[in-house]
Amino acid sequence: MLRYTIKRLLLMIPILLGISFVVLLIIEISPGDPARMMLGDRATEESVAALRDELGLNDSLPVRYVRFIWNIMNGDFGTSYATSRPILREMWQRFPYTLLNVSLALGLAVIIGIPIGIYAATHQYTWKDNAAIFSSLFCVSMPGFWFALILVQIFAVKVRLVPPSGVESWKGWILPAFSLSLGYAAVIARQTRSNLLEVIRQDYVTTARAKGIPERKVLYRHALKNALIPVIMVVGSIFGLALGGTLIGEVIFSIPGLGSYTLAGLQGRDYPVIQGSILILSTLFSLIMLIVDLLFALIDPRIRLQYARKSKRGVV
């Protein structure tokens, strides 16, 4: 496992280098001049050119890329054009908001999705199963921003149970977490149903039933324990994706998280913010997926055995 972990960590390096280069390439071909936006439309061409030279925007793409990587290796993620503050410090201040929103949403998704998946699997081919499948497909297909706006219109504007935006109190987290959790809950429900239907057809489940064990114990003690192992992988993947997918929700509900910070950088052509935030989010996603893989191996002994065999052959 240690050898596999080290290999995965080393593999992250070329992946992150490729991501940073693609981001810089997209920035290069995108319209807009950050120097012009900083100085305003009335600024002279001479002042704009001087600011571009000061920011290093007149350098070639390879030069800027090498400079960016060198600064990252020295712990310098750059300074925001808009605030003149270090990007790493600003992101560190905003990260708890995004982490809390994602954690609440994922917790709701698990609480909602797993019971629905179990209920659908235990009522296969009935109208209850069909209703659960239809609901999950509807939730997955529905745009998250549209659902968030509907929640604001109903519970914040009409009923006035929660504030429409802001997270100054605990009530402000209800709508963002619930709107983000809906689609993820549908994915978890479908995955749970599929895995449980596959597990309950296994021989050991049939043997447990033949021994006269009550159906509820067969389901929850034998079948569900193994059916939820792949769900852990799905939940971990969702957590990593949700860290970078909270942009729309943070904007709608005025949450000062990483998503809204990245969007502000995109709108203001704040290149250091764009590069730094995407690189950090990509690193977090890669680390989360590594942790999920290791956790998956700890839970499932078959995976540990597979890693051990590959390690002996020198594959891992």
113-144 pLDDT, tens digit per residue, is: 989 988 888 888 888 888 888 888 888 888 77
Joined tokens for residue 156: 């914040």
Q: What is the pTM of this model?
A: 0.81
* Residues making up the chain, counted from first to last: 316
Catalogue all structural domains in the chain, each as residue range(s) with its CATH number: 94-313 (1.10.3720.10)
What pLDDT, in 10s, does the model give residues 78-122?
Answer: 888 888 888 888 888 888 998 898 999 999 999 999 899 888 888
The candidate with the shortest Cα–Cα distance to 273, out of 97, 99, 77, is 77
Query: Band of the pLDDT at 77, cuts 50, 70, 90?
Result: confident
DSSP H helices in the chain = 2-29, 34-39, 45-55, 61-73, 87-122, 127-141, 144-151, 174-199, 203-210, 215-217, 224-227, 229-244, 247-252, 258-267, 271-299, 301-313
Burial (CB < 10 A; 0-12, 13-18, 19+), residue 209, is middle
Helices (H), 123-143: 127-141
Say whether pLDDT at 307 is over 60: no
User: What DSSP character marks residue 173?
Assistant: G
